Amino acid sequence: MNRVYLTKEGYAKIRNELVRLQTEDRPRVIAAIKKAREFGDLSENAEYHAAKERQSFLENKIAGLQTKLTHSEIIDESQIPKDKVYLGATVRLKDQKTGNEIQYKLVSTDEADFAENKISTESPIGKALLSKAVSDVVEIQVPVGLLTYEILEISR
């Protein structure tokens, strides 16, 4: 697996999810399996099979998060230039067609959350913004058409 670059916030979020899965969800699933076993014949016990399926899904998710954390590297934002757009930067943009402003934080794919305006550096917008500076105008081809943004501000 390749290195997974994360912000401190992203690493903590994944770590907290892993701890929750291990300490809250896993014991719940184990208790559900135990309870379902009490119903008798396991070959026709739908509750048992559903609980085992949940356990399999949960264990796969735990393993995936552990692997991700093992291969992760927390970016040191103090070592990243502040005058250009890179991973961890918050970028304020002005849509050249509408005049509307929007702000995005560029994060890794694992941290991306469009509802929180956190976009991946692998997304079309994220890729187009990388290495750009304040006042640069960027044209970005997205599924809905061509977006044209001016970079107004870069912060960390």
Whole-number Å distance between alpha carbons of 16 and 52:
24
Q: What are the tens digits of pLDDT across the range 47-88?
A: 888 999 999 999 999 999 999 999 998 988 777 888 899 998
Q: Please, are residues 41 and 50 in contact by the beta-carbon 8 Å criterion?
A: no
What's residue 78's pLDDT?
78
CATH class for the domain made up of 4-74 = mainly alpha
Same fold, 4-74 and 77-155: no
Tens of pLDDT along 104-129?
999 988 889 989 999 999 999 999 99
Top CATH class, 77-155: alpha beta
The ranges assigned to domains in the chain are 4-74, 77-155
Residue 72 CA to residue 45 CA, distance in Å, equals: 41
Residue 58 CB burial class (10 angstroms; 0-12, 13-18, ≥19): middle
Counting residues of the chain whose pLDDT is more than 70, the rounded percentage is: 99
